[in-house]
Structure formats: structure tokens, C-alpha cells
Structure 1
């Protein structure tokens, strides 16, 4: 059986960091791991590995393993730890075999300050997790401390003490309630914990950002005997943490709602000033199942189905007389095979929607007014059978020219007009753009089989057009509207010539 147990443990047995041996009968070592060999060599007797004065303790422990694992404090007789009190653990490993493990240095309970006595069970070995946590603590930028009921500092350890100009153990024996100024956060927190409250806080201390965990230690009767506490310096993460707090505070004042939901519908985040518009407290929805809360809303079920399917999208929904713009962001699992949760941001856009609607209505009104103004400023008048006159007043900009051309072509086609006269008597200024619009109107009119004429070019305008180099040779022009009408009407006479 012992051989099969050793084979079953395999590499795990040999890789155990503590010295570990498999013992047959009362004393014979039949298997040992690498750590045991380093400390005790190849000795085949467990008694040879332990100081003679501790053999009786070993014998008592071996007898006690029938009721469960037994612990003892014994001094190694061999190896680098020889003569140093060490904790050992022995447990049954079969009908006639047992396992023996050297756990680590012994710390007799009699050396523990009385207020911290509830932390230690007499005679118990140091668990592996305690050893690992101790090693991890030595590498962290942190502090652990303990304070007795009367305020006496019992423990002050950790590399983080350097931030305060202290060395490990330097404050032991001093009274924290005398060191901490009354009314300070440290004083108030210590009093609260000594009264039985767990206090977990975070914040800046000088230039460093700390997370503090403080717990009351109670005896068997439930009375608080001390504070046990730890602080971890997380300055490198302070910037992100402070930004997150500032963002949370800002969101609380904005008309938005930031929320998160697990795949099963559980709400894990609900924040933002927009909650006031919904009549909801900031933490009221935390823990609630949103599928139940909004189960009567088909649009919510449809949105969640899309988001849980992995789609990121935005949509507008109505809640009563309010209008909300929602943005859904699905978060995939580590393996990317499914959506684990949904983050969402909802913005109350009710006022914005009203403003946009009012703006659209105003723009439509302006467009109608502009169309009416253009129609009035450029009337199309049939002054003779088949002859249309368009008196232009003011500047002929692009929008007005386009509207005029559209209306003019519609009139020419509908009335089957033979001539269109553009009268420029009311035009004071002509630039290249205006001339281009005139040419465009004339060419379009002639393409539908109608003759285009221009009348009323003022001398000042003519001078400007010449100075600008505007080509007029392709246009038929007349000094006045009356002259243009007379010449066009007289063209019916056989001897008359339009040109």
C-alpha cells in the first residue's frame, strides 16, 4: 500500500517545498522528497532526524493520528535547522504508514501578545497558505499592524512603512490613540473598529494612494480584543481610480444613465443624473432582474436579444413623455464564445428632440418664405401671346437662379411660349457668377425651343460687365423692355428682322 501511495503522489510528492517523508511503522522512512534529502540526507530513521529530547513528543503525536492529523513542535537533529524549534505535522497514510511534513519555524503561542491570542490555536502547525501569504507580503508595498483594545500598537510591519519614515517594529509599544490626533481619519477609524465595526477605506495620504482593511478581533465571548489591519499602497493605480471617481461624480450630474446587466438579467451598475428623470434612486436597481422589471416592454426584450447576440448598436426609445437615446455595448467572455454582460448608456434627449423638431419647423417655414420671396422678386409675366417677361430685381444668387430656372422652364413648356425676355432694369450689380446664371437660363430656355432675350442693361452695369470681361456676344440684348417687345412683335412682319 505504501508503494502504491508513493507512486500515486508521483512528482507532486517530490515537488513539495517542505520536507516530506513517508514512514512505515513507528520509525522507518521508506520514501522522502527532495527537500527532505536536503535537510536530513538519506537517513532511514525518523528518530535520527529529530532531537532526542523531542522523541517523546513524536511518539505522542504518532499515537494521536488515529483521530486526525497531529501537530508537534520538535527540533531537527540534522540539517541547517538543527536545534531550532520547528512545527511538524503527521497524518495517517494507510494501515501502518504515515506522512510526516516539516511545516516551518515554530512560534510558541506564549510569545503572542494576549490581545492577539484568538489568532492562534495552541499546537496547530503553520498552514501553507500562511507561509505563502507571508512571503507575498514581504514583496508588497504594504503595511500590517495590530492595535490592542487600550490602543497599544502590538504589530507594525511591512516595507510600506518607509512611506511614513518608519521602520518595521518601530511603533510597537506606543499608543495609537495618543499618536493619532483626535478628529483625524486614523483616530476615528481606530475607535470605530475597536467598537466592533469593520472599516474598509481608501484615499490619498500625502502623494500616495492607499487601500485600508481594518477588522476587529474578538475572543471566545465575542469581546473585541484588538484591531488587525492591512494597508496596500496602490499609488500607481491612483490616477485611474481618481479619474473613475471624478467621472462617477460627473455622471451623477448629467442627464444620462450608465447601467450594466449580467447575462441572466441581474443589474450590477446603475448611476447617473438621468435616474432622477425616471424617479429612481442610484442603487435602487442594483441586484434587480431587469428582465422582470421591464418584462412588459417588447422593445426592451428585443434590444437585449440583439445585445446578447453580440451586436453593438444605438436606438431611441420612449418612456412616457420622455425620449431616450440608448447605446448598448456587449462584453464577451474571456474565450469570446458568448456575451457575459451588457454595458449601456442612456441619454435623456427629450428637450433636444423638442428643439430639433422646432428647428425643423422653422427651417421649413424659412424655406417656404424664401420660395415666396423668390417668386415675388422674379415674377414670370405673359405680356403677349407666347411672350414671357421676367423682371429681375437685386442680386441673382445661385439659389434664386435655380428656383427661377425651374419655374421658368415649367411656364415655357406649359404655355408653349416662343420668347422669354429677362429684364435687368432693376439689377444694379453684375459679377461673373450673375453672368453665368444669366447664360445658364438663356441656354436652358433655348434648348426647349424658346428664344431668349435680355433687356434693360444699365450703362453702369454694361461698363462693369465689360471691365470684368463678361462675353455678351451670344446674347440678344435691347436697351429697354418696350424695345424688346416691339422688335419681337414686329418680327411677324415679312420685312422685319429680329436682329
Structure 2
């Protein structure tokens, strides 16, 4: 082991920075206590053992250029656990002894930046997005992304062009860009050149708060938009089918001049009762009916709210100048309505639809 001068030994023992000393041949003859604590014992090892094999070529090239001068190279070095960490290694060679002195500066910032660039590039290559930046004059300074071709341009093609010229026909988009340049963050969805885009435009400010640029991201959402429209169309179809089913389940039949009948079947809930009311009242007005028969023969169950709706329907029919008649009340329904305290006074109830029709015919014949 090479003996180091006393002052150099003291420097290595107390220096807070990771530094090392090697022979002209590249054998490490001393390291600072700081380096040893963070990266392990290097003394006595050749540099090639601590430099990542993939980075050795670049390190060796910098090494051969020294010749009494100084060089810096970014490379990965091995720590005590065998992991490799990124550093910038600065080298300087003594012109007298040929001894080489080196220092390490952790390359965290560059590594993080490199990682961020890789992540951004991966996103741009795989996600249908276009990312761009404008200077204060609206000129593209950056433009990239897989989705560019859907906009009719290639990645990078817009750099150097004015957004106001490139998209002059898109007045709403140009307006958003102007507002972003004025300092307002923008978010909007537009159909541009045959595709749907969700776009964000964000002002970039300096320390004084002045807008120095605008960065933007445009996500191609045509697939999602198409799926949304298809879903909406299906929901509309379902709603139309439901209306048809409801109309068939409770048809309004004009059985005679000025006589309507509504044969009800199944369970009548509040929603269905409200629909029946709306449809029947409209039909009473349209046909100028004098009588409307609510036939309950096929009704299985009824609750307080529904009974209230039906009574309100009969009274509403009366307000339109017609007469409401309830027929076919089953014993169970009559018992339920009586138990609920429903007041049927003033409402004509008959046993069957046939009797209800006879009643209407007698009144019309007598009137």
C-alpha cells in the first residue's frame, strides 16, 4: 500500500466530501472517510472494480485524456452493498508525481431529469396525447406526441410555426390560446379535424409572475366520445322501448264516442300512476271525452300513495268537464283502500267494466 503524505492523510480523514487518490496506473491508494462511509472501502482496489462495466469505456477515455490536466465524466460506481449509483467523477492529475485526485458529485439531479425525460417519452409514444409549448408570440417551441397525426401533423412539425396560422380556422381554440397567453388556465373539449380532443393550456410564469410561455396537452378522446355516444343511443333506445311497454301495459282505449277506458293490469306504483294521469288527461282533452273509465280488474296491489294518485286522477278528470268512473275493484283492493281510510265519496264505482260502459251509454242516451 502506497504511503500518503501526512497532510493528505489528514485531509482524507476530515474532508466532508467523497474524494479519492489513485496511482497513475489506476489503483486506489486512499479515500476520504466520507467516501468510505457511503461507498465502502476502496483503498487498494483498481478503479475498474468500482466503475460499472457499461461505463468503463467512457471513464477510461476521460482517464487517458488527463496528461496532467483535468477531466469529468458521468458514470455509475459501486457501493458497499454492490449497488451502482450515478455520480459525476472529476479527475485531476499531478504534473509532478502523476498521482490522480478524484471527487464524486452525486448525479441525483441528472438521474432524476433523465428518468423524467424517459417517462415523458414513454407516455408520448404510447398514449394518444399531443404535448406542446408556445412562446409569448404564440410560436411553437415544442411539439411531440403519438396523437399528432390525428391532428394532421407529424411530431415536431409545428415547431417554429405560429399557432394562430397553423390553426387559424379553429376560432374557439385560438381564443383559448390567447386567454392562456394572457394568464388564464384553459380546459376544454372540442371536435378538431374529425377527432375529439380534451385540451389543457397552462401559462408558465417567471419569478415576477409574468407569463413567459404556455404549455399544453391535448388528449385524443375520440374513442371514449364514441363509446359515450353509443351508450347514450342505447339508453335512448331503452327509454323509448320502456315508453312503448308502459303504453302497451296501460293502453287508453276509446271504446265509444266520448268514452275512454283504461284497463289496468298488475301492480300500480306511484310512478306508473303519475304516467297514467298525464296520458289520460291529455287524451281526455284531445278526444273531448265525457267519460273516462278506470278499470281495476287486473290490479294486484295498491298502496296509499297510489290510491291517492288515482283519486286525484278522477278529480282532475272532473275538472276537465268529464266524469271519472272506477270499475272492477277486487275485494282485496277494496279492503286495502278501506283500511287505508281512502275517501271514495263522490266517485262512481261499479263492479265491472261492462256495467261502467252501460252507465255511460245510459247517461249519453238520456242527455
Q: TM (normalized to structure 2)?
A: 0.72
* Match of residue 107 from structure 1: none
* Match of residue 151 from structure 1: 26
Matching residue within 63, 84, 88 for 1:213? 88
Higher RCO (CA < 8 A, seq sep 6+): 2
Structure of greater Rg: 1
Ranges in structure 1 where 5+ consecutive residues have no aligned partner? 1-110, 113-137, 220-224
Matching residue within 40, 43, 59 for 1:190? 59
- Alignment RMSD: 4.6
* Match of residue 405 from structure 1: 277
* Match of residue 308 from structure 1: 181
1:222-244 Cα deviation digits (max 9, x unpaired): xxx97965323759x99x88995
Matching residue within 199, 208, 211 for 1:326? 199
Ranges in structure 2 where 5+ consecutive residues have no aligned partner? 1-6, 9-14, 66-70
Looking at structure 1, the residues matched to 317 and 149 of structure 2 have their Cα atoms a distance apart, in angstroms, of 63
Indicate yes or no: 2:346 matched with 1:471.
no
Matching residue within 221, 240, 249 for 1:377? 249
* Match of residue 256 from structure 1: 129
Residue 187 of structure 1, CA deviation: 3.9
* Match of residue 267 from structure 1: 141
Matched residues, number: 342
* Match of residue 4 from structure 1: none
Looking at structure 2, the residues matched to 203 and 463 of structure 1 have their Cα atoms a distance apart, in angstroms, of 91
**CA 489–147 in structure 1, closer or farther in 2 if over 3 Å, else same:** farther
1:177-220 Cα deviation digits (max 9, x unpaired): 2x327x6456455235447797446899669996522467799x
Indicate yes or no: 2:180 matched with 1:180.
no
Give yes or no for contact 2:39–2:78 (8 Å, CA) kept in 1.
no
Tell me, what secondary structure is at the counterpart of 1:449?
coil
* Match of residue 291 from structure 1: 162
* Match of residue 259 from structure 2: 387
Looking at structure 1, the residues matched to 130 and 282 of structure 2 have their Cα atoms a distance apart, in angstroms, of 54
Give yes or no for contact 2:201–2:214 (8 Å, CA) kept in 1.
yes
**CA 388–231 in structure 1, closer or farther in 2 if over 3 Å, else same:** same
**CA 477–388 in structure 1, closer or farther in 2 if over 3 Å, else same:** same
Looking at structure 2, the residues matched to 403 and 204 of structure 1 have their Cα atoms a distance apart, in angstroms, of 78
1:21-78 Cα deviation digits (max 9, x unpaired): xxxxxxxxxxxxxxxxxxxxxxxxxxxxxxxxxxxxxxxxxxxxxxxxxxxxxxxxxx
Tell me, what secondary structure is at the counterpart of 1:394?
strand
Looking at structure 2, the residues matched to 161 and 346 of structure 1 have their Cα atoms a distance apart, in angstroms, of 50
Looking at structure 1, the residues matched to 191 and 23 of structure 2 have their Cα atoms a distance apart, in angstroms, of 59
1:301-324 Cα deviation digits (max 9, x unpaired): 333212101122222344544321
Q: TM (normalized to structure 1)?
A: 0.55
**CA 176–242 in structure 1, closer or farther in 2 if over 3 Å, else same:** closer
